[in-house]
A and B are shown apart, each in its own frame.
Chain A
């Protein structure tokens, strides 16, 4: 992440990456889409302080996965899929495997 990366789950880098990978969105479009869904400005997407608070509020996972009641891993992805209005493959698989 050092010189130019967005910062992954420290910020909203994973969410912007998801929109590129799942919907083939270019960078600007992906950032704007995620910002709109999170109801923040595009600049906020790479602010570790703002995003850490927001990720906690939205319960979509952050780097401190060992602390508190935060969703982690697949739990967070269930919430991200709903938040971004996308299908996430591992979430779909989880649903298939847990359906009786």
Chain B
């Protein structure tokens, strides 16, 4: 029997046949929803094998290592209650944790809140860039809801929609998108001019299609302004919510896009790296979630011309939806993403 986990992190015991059945069902779910190719029977067998290994920790075969980028990089240490500065945290990432890249991130991890402290963030970026060697990104979330009342200037689409004010809700989101574009370009320009290698738009489209639109437009503007800037667009979920419903980028309706379609637009806008996300279903098993996540990510990698880094962590990339992701699942998901999904990074 195989001891594995459910998507909520709890242990579950399954036979090898049950593991295989769950992987196949997870793959089939991705195929149906995304209208993408299924994994081959060999690839499914390999995922089953990875899930069934008795070791607690699993790793890639030598030669299959990939590049790691991070989201909310410095925050991961700040959240632990360890009171050290961002430059020192990134020195630890580089010299103690073996990080391939670094990400500097303020506790209020949204562009709207950061725009008022850009000079302080520029100082942190400039200082970090002097004492670290690895590529340095600055990360933040587009976070469109911060632009809605009562926190921001725009009418709140979430209040307008239940009242049946569809056109007003769309207009409010379009207005919020314009504010967000300005803030993303302003903050990103500031940290790039302070010495960062680039920017990471993290949890893109968390509030839906208008937020994805805003991020793509900001990317387009930044690419035009800084041709050499590294721009990573990391998504919030596997599916772009149609909260607006009709907003388009370059003639493509954004609502309902899955990773293999999202990456085409990210590439068109000028992104350097795309961060694909596949959500974890906490009611299904880890094998089901892993089979599903790898299927979506592999389809994304196959159509992309830019590096794809899958999000593998709390509740994404097959990993259970818990605050302390179990290493048995994280290491298996990382291995499967590298060896079967053929990701460029995580």
Contact = CB atoms under 8 A, between A and B. Distances in A.
Interface string A1-40: 1111111111101101110111011110010000000000
A8 B68 CA distance: 9
Contact of A14 (B131, B135, B346): B135
A58 interface: no
Interface stretch (B20-28, B251-259, B327-335): B327-335
9 contacts: A3-B58, A6-B68, A9-B95, A9-B133, A22-B135, A43-B63, A46-B65, A76-B133, A89-B198
A4 B335 contact: yes
B136 interface: yes
Given A1-B100, A3-B331, 7 more contacts: A1-B99, A14-B135, A22-B228, A26-B307, A27-B66, A46-B63, A73-B130
A65 interface: yes
B68 A3 contact: no
Interface stretch (B174-182, B189-197, B210-218): B189-197
Contact of A16 (B67, B129, B331): B67
Contacts of B161: none
Contacts of A7: 65, 98, 100
Interface string A49-70: 0000000000011010100000
Contact of B69 (A3, A17, A72, A77): A17
A21 B195 contact: no
Contact of A90 (B64, B197, B344): B197
A43 B61 CA distance: 11
A93 interface: yes
A98 to B, nearest CB: 12
A8 B134 contact: yes
A17 B67 CA distance: 6
Contacts of B232: 21
A46 B345 CA distance: 15
Given A7-B100, A17-B135, A90-B197, A27 B63 contact: no
Contacts of B148: none
Instruction: For the complex of A and B, list the 5 residue pairs with the smallest distance between their C-beta atoms, beginning with the closest.
Output: A13-B100, A1-B98, A21-B230, A90-B129, A90-B195
Contacts, number: 171
Interface of B: 57-60, 62-69, 93-101, 126, 129-137, 192-198, 228-230, 232, 272-273, 305-307, 327, 330-331, 334-335, 337-338, 343-346
Contacts of A77: 133
A42 B129 contact: no
Given A27-B67, A89-B192, A89-B196, A16 B57 contact: no
Contacts of A26: 305-307, 344
Contacts of B65: 4-7, 13, 46
Given A4-B335, A13-B68, A22-B228, A80 B133 contact: yes
A3 B335 contact: yes
B130 to A, nearest CB: 5
B98 A21 contact: no
B128 to A, nearest CB: 9
Contacts of A83: none
A99 B192 CA distance: 19
Given A14-B134, A21-B272, A27-B344, A1 B101 contact: no
Contacts of B335: 3-4
Given A20-B272, A21-B272, A88-B197, A5 B100 contact: yes
